[in-house]
Amino acid sequence: MDKFSNYFMRKITIIRNKIISDCPNNTCNIVIDADIMFNGKMLEIFPSASEVDVKEIITKSCNLDPLPTCLLKKCVDQLLPLITGIINRSVVESVMSLCLKRATITPLFKRYGLDRTNMKNCHPISNLPFISKLLKRYKQGV
């Protein structure tokens, strides 16, 4: 597992360094000019998630979750106000708790029969805590 982790950490470092070196004078962090034509509707505020929205997207678990999915589903009505509050506060403040940014990474080989010692033959699969998944799905649905 260390070999897998080291391979993908090196790969990410190389990609980040390439992006930074391709940006003249550190311009990668500059916001794009407002003069660019925008043909959609401006989103000035994110709508709040409702408990109904959150309940619809509670599905899977991760070993980083503080409680098993079966227990979450049994207690979902009692926990919905708290979970919904975490999501809405994260959206309003544009902040995500560090514990929600962690993931369990599992290697998944691209095809059967490939060399299992060559890390280029696998994909990293991230498993996030359920609140992270909920937040991601909610933001995508906005």
For the stretch 124-140, pLDDT in tens is: 888 888 788 777 776 65
Counted domains in the chain:
1
Range of the structural domain that residue 23 is part of: 2-141
0.85 surpassed by pTM: no
Quote the CA–CA distance of 119 and 108 in Å, as a whole number: 10
Buried b (16+ CB within 10 A) or exposed e, 16-32: eeeeeeeeeeeeeeeee
Using DSSP, state whether 30 is helix, strand or coil.
coil
Indicate whether 31 pLDDT > 50: no
Least confident interval from 1-5, 41-45, 93-97: 41-45
Percentage of residues in the chain with pLDDT exceeding 70? 75
